[in-house]
Amino acid sequence: MGMRITRLGDLARVVGVELCGDPDLEIDGVGTLENARRGQISFLSNAKYRRFLSETQASAVILSATDAAHCSTAKLVSDNPYLTYARVASHLLPEVQQMAGCHPSAVVASTADIHPTAWVGACSVIGERVKVDAGVYIGPGSVVENDCRIGKASRLVAKVTLCRETRIGERCLLHPGTVIGADGFGLANDAGRWEKVPQLGRAILGDDVEIGANTTVDRGALEDTVLENGVKLDNLIQVGHNVQIGAHTAMAAACAIAGSTKIGRYCTIGGLTGLAGHLTIGDNVHFSGASQVTRSFPDPGYYSGNLPAMENNDWRKAIARIRQLDGMAKRFKALEKRIADEKVSKKS
């Protein structure tokens, strides 16, 4: 993707960091320390890549004050190099011209209220009483069912499905294949046969929410499923019915959250983590990848809940020991009781 050519001094002012080097140096792109070329800007935020710093061909590097002493190129010195890089890259990206109107192949219900500055893409379907605010982009092949609302400047990239009565806040970004507001997994058992429980709630997304490709957020069974402002979900995540996710919580790929679990604000959840239903997770709780969360964690902190990979024979031995733990615990308690009884007997 072509980027805007910008002077390094202008970039430093825009992102508010210290410049060391020629302010008139022209920057026309970004690259990694290892593979950047002249004219590009790179960044160092992970010590594992420090070895490339002395050899990089980048014209400038974004880094911390500690690493700046080891960099011979022009540099932007930041307390948070990765965040500064994100802002620099965003500034260099060319502005996307927002289209307005409806593609001729789109099907739009007569009762839908589409703002004149919004765009409805090819082969998209907009249902009855849908309200689409200013600057919204609805990409090709998307389906917006009856009574949905989409807030200002939100973007449905392509093939996004919003089921009935879904609410999307402002400036949300929904990637291809996202499904918001499908029925949750609600079933009642009748002598071995499953009977569907009507899913009567909605799915509600706050402002500045981003949902990754092929992620699903189910509607509530009775109350609403709610993702608060600033929530960020990666690809291939399942959010069950009645789940609540607090503001600015971020979740990596392939997580699964069972129904009615409440997650606090400013949490991070590593990829492949599974959360059982009806749990309460407090604010500022952080789970490492592949954790299995089967109880509530109300207090802030960093938690892990699985064994790392190991050589197969060692794994088999570890599992065998784990299976023996209950019996070992019982024998240990019996031994403790025996010792305690002997002490009492000796005293008497």
Question: Which residues are part of the catalytic machinery?
Answer: 241
- CA nearest neighbour of 12 among 30, 2, 27, 31: 27
Alpha-carbon gap, residue 54 to 219, rounded angstroms: 52
Strand order in the sheet with 250-251: 101-102, 119-120, 137-138, 155-156, 173-174, 210-211, 232-233, 250-251, 268-269, 285-287, 301-303
Do the Cβ atoms of 234 and 198 come closer than 8 Å? no
**In one letter, which amino acid is 321?**
R
Joined together, the tokens standing for residue 94 give 């060319």
> What's CA 29's distance to the chain center, in Å?
26
Residue 213 one-letter amino acid: A
Taking the CA atoms of residue 146, residue 152, residue 153 and residue 154 in that order, the dihedral angle to the nearest 10 degrees is -40
- Taking residue 12's Cβ as centre, other Cβ atoms within 10 Å add up to 24
Asked if 172 and 160 count as a contact pair (C-beta separation under 8 A), the reply is no
Q: Which two tokens stand for residue 313?
A: 């024979």
Residues 6+ apart with CB under 8 A from 248: 228, 229, 230, 231, 232, 265, 266
What residues form DSSP beta bridges with 18?
77
**3-state SS class at 10:** helix
Instruction: Look at residue 40 and give its three-state secondary structure.
Output: strand
Q: How far is CA 179 from CA 124, 163, 231, in A?
A: 14, 8, 16
